[in-house]
Chain A
């Protein structure tokens, strides 16, 4: 039984994966999104050129801002890679948000309950974050592979559960006495060091880049990646060729969750240090957009995440310079994804109607 939503997602997948899309497509999508965005900005009574100039300056105007852009991109990179990994195996992981929360929760436990020497503590905390995401997403993975549940529905609902669990914990058991609703901070030894002195840029960037390289190697240079992609394209053929489809499906979802969990752990160890209610501004969802704009390629995801990170950073100064609210940036973000989809569909079907040709 497939819901309408998941059918539509599968439709998108067949557009995204079924054929190689032109690599220039995201660039066009961004340009058109900015063009249409300028109409909206003008409608809001501001000068689009001034607004975009402020946006640009605010994102990359000086070294500190570049660092901020990078920092904001890190969780998007990791969560975007997470989506790609699942997508490639034809699993739709909409549960990135929940997995980020679970990763963060595990990381905070490791960072506050364990007391280990520097150099050991941090890797363990990050690994715990991955374990949190892995376990949390293995549940929908198992339900899909072995019981035929729709993973889109299950992961969406599990997001609510994860957010509520974290919320309960910081209100109750994990609440730091005397303070607002937040947990204790993780040990110094569990924090990601700053790699550019005088800025907020932390080692998480290197972690994200390494994750992208590893994801690429996994997908295209290992037998596991071959199995994963084979199941993604055609599960029937994979079974015929001797691939254990159930196992691979669970594994794809769980590995995807591990990457999302790492995103949560890196954010804790690099920026926030403690668990707060609602600490993620929706990275798990933006990650889907990042993965699509990045054309489901690890390198593309890095670039797309940088773009989205820059938008978020630049939005602040756009707000102060021309008085436009933050949501304008979200509109541009949404438009980019929309034009990406339209472009993919046009490339797939032609502009007016399906082209018919002899098979």
Chain B
């Protein structure tokens, strides 16, 4: 007799008003398996695992654990059955210590008194077993994002989880942290835990999973063994068509210099020098990639050029105009477009309609306003045009930006920022969190702008993306330029060393590399 799989999902259907989030979804997970759940945003991955964690009940279908059918009324039931979940947004109380967070909501053996001592020992033991390196006495707010995620993993293990669900765990991590997370997952697997790993990133799924279940529009497309498939095949299943991984990029047609940055220093939020003595030039028709591990001064550099952050010293001039103190309102005059890193918090007003968001920078100009009065007709016509041009999937221009998917939100920002044929485009992680189709769209639009003669700064933490898109790449480490290289003339290994700050260019090379 064969033993049944550890977890079986059978024909789970879940509908929300107007949407079928999951449509007869079936798959199974074995103990000691890392099972990836792959799909674009909105494919129904989160709904499915929320059902598995008891956060909502399916309309129909069955869940079997160790062969026995289970009913989950709440996450409490799920935890009792050994199901643990690490949410995309961590559920930690910042001012409390790691140990306090982990025992939160559990009965203490010395009720009503806390008993953190034994808990701390257990946390340390788990931490050693799985290589998590979690300090039970540390306060959560002091920990890095990657560390907080490990606290979440320990929390689930402490509650006795045999099945661990990780919802887009790599979205917030640096490449190193991702590497470390994968090591942890492999140890969990070796100890016989089952892991469900949700992602829309093909490389990661290929690297870590044993099997992949691909979801599209709430349905299972297929479940395949990772070893027997490849990225292209998975992308096809996920998107439903062929996907380009390499762009045919014509050689750069360089024009006049648009941006000159000299000896720029910028302070970061924690009053540290986030950008140190950065100098470079950027010309029309050129894409300058800015590579580096997240948090090495990329955002501060872009924000300084966008006028959102004052320069501590040094000079920025755009189209020959050097401004002592940039204001964000100057971007309009200088014809600079800025695609900010945080599209929901900075790039959009989520409660404004799409049409209102599409004029966010331009609302006071003709034809959208006349002598201080908004011209709604022009604003709506503009929106209808942009929605068509940028293929923004919205029922109409008057729905709130909040109601759009991440990819379509980014399209709204692109449509607005690119609408005035900008001379300089500051694109900060424009594809972060986007699915394959939307990423392809964003990259394609930026290449169009390059061909038109825009100068583009392209910040990304995805090395592959930067190398395929950029004409030149600046590598930042702790706010300093480690290297200015050309894709094709550099190995990924060299780039990695520069990103880690272990290889840097000489002063002479720096001078020479300024110009394109």
Given A234-B351, A358-B44, 7 other A-B contacts at CB below 8 A? A19-B351, A223-B364, A224-B372, A234-B348, A240-B346, A355-B56, A356-B56
Asked if B372 contacts A234 (CB within 8 A), the reply is: no
Complex CA–CA separation, A13 to B217 (angstroms): 35
- The residue in chain B whose Cβ has the minimal distance to the Cβ of A18 is B351
Interface residues of A in 194-234 (CB under 8 A from B): 220-226, 229-230, 233-234
Interface residues of A in 23-48 (CB under 8 A from B): none
Complex CA–CA separation, A221 to B356 (angstroms): 12
Does A236 count as interface, using CB distance less than 8 angstroms? yes
Per-residue contact bits, chain B 316-331, to A (CB 8 Å; 1 contact, 0 not) = 0000000000011111
Given the known A-B contacts A222-B372, A226-B374, are A237 and B346 also in contact in the complex, defined by CB atoms under 8 Å? yes
Max chain B C-beta neighbours (<10 A), residue from A223, A225, A233, A238 = A223
Given the known A-B contacts A223-B369, A223-B373, A226-B374, are A358 and B328 also in contact in the complex, defined by CB atoms under 8 Å? no
B327 proximity list for chain A (CB < 8 A):
242
Which of under 10, 10 to 19, 20 to 34, or 35 or more describes the interface residues of A? 20 to 34
Given the known A-B contacts A223-B364, A233-B350, A357-B47, are A240 and B308 also in contact in the complex, defined by CB atoms under 8 Å? yes
Does B338 count as interface, using CB distance less than 8 angstroms? yes
Complex CA–CA separation, A186 to B99 (angstroms): 70
Per-residue contact bits, chain B 380-406, to A (CB 8 Å; 1 contact, 0 not) = 000000000000000000000000011
Asked if B373 contacts A221 (CB within 8 A), the reply is: yes
**CB proximity of A129 to chain B, nearest CB, Å:** 25
**CB proximity of A147 to chain B, nearest CB, Å:** 19
Which of A17, A223, A355 is the one whose CB lies under 8 Å from B363? A223
Given the known A-B contacts A223-B364, A230-B360, A241-B361, are A236 and B346 also in contact in the complex, defined by CB atoms under 8 Å? yes
Given the known A-B contacts A17-B351, A237-B347, A356-B55, are A242 and B328 also in contact in the complex, defined by CB atoms under 8 Å? yes
Which of B21, B42, B348, B374 is the one whose CB lies under 8 Å from A237? B348
Complex CA–CA separation, A182 to B356 (angstroms): 51
B369 proximity list for chain A (CB < 8 A):
223
Measured CB to CB, the residues of A under 8 A from B are 17-19, 220-226, 229-230, 233-234, 236-244, 355-359
Per-residue contact bits, chain B 42-57, to A (CB 8 Å; 1 contact, 0 not) = 1011110010000110
Residues of B in contact (CB 8 Å), total 41
Asked if B374 contacts A357 (CB within 8 A), the reply is: no
Given the known A-B contacts A230-B349, A236-B345, A236-B346, are A242 and B329 also in contact in the complex, defined by CB atoms under 8 Å? yes
Complex CA–CA separation, A242 to B326 (angstroms): 11
Asked if A240 contacts B347 (CB within 8 A), the reply is: yes
B331 proximity list for chain A (CB < 8 A):
242
Asked if B16 contacts A230 (CB within 8 A), the reply is: no
Which of B56, B364, B374 is the one whose CB lies under 8 Å from A221? B374
Does B332 count as interface, using CB distance less than 8 angstroms? yes
Asked if A223 contacts B374 (CB within 8 A), the reply is: yes
Given the known A-B contacts A233-B350, A233-B351, A234-B345, are A358 and B42 also in contact in the complex, defined by CB atoms under 8 Å? yes
**CB proximity of B58 to chain A, nearest CB, Å:** 13
Asked if A241 contacts B21 (CB within 8 A), the reply is: no
Complex CA–CA separation, A232 to B500 (angstroms): 41
- The residue in chain B whose Cβ has the minimal distance to the Cβ of A225 is B374
Complex CA–CA separation, A236 to B340 (angstroms): 11
**CB proximity of B260 to chain A, nearest CB, Å:** 23
Given the known A-B contacts A230-B349, A233-B349, are A357 and B372 also in contact in the complex, defined by CB atoms under 8 Å? no
Pull 20 A–B residue pairs with CB atoms less than 8 Å apart, ordered by A: A17-B351, A221-B376, A222-B372, A223-B363, A223-B369, A226-B363, A234-B345, A234-B351, A236-B345, A238-B349, A240-B308, A240-B346, A242-B330, A242-B361, A243-B329, A355-B56, A356-B55, A356-B56, A357-B47, A358-B42
B42 proximity list for chain A (CB < 8 A):
358
**CB proximity of B281 to chain A, nearest CB, Å:** 25
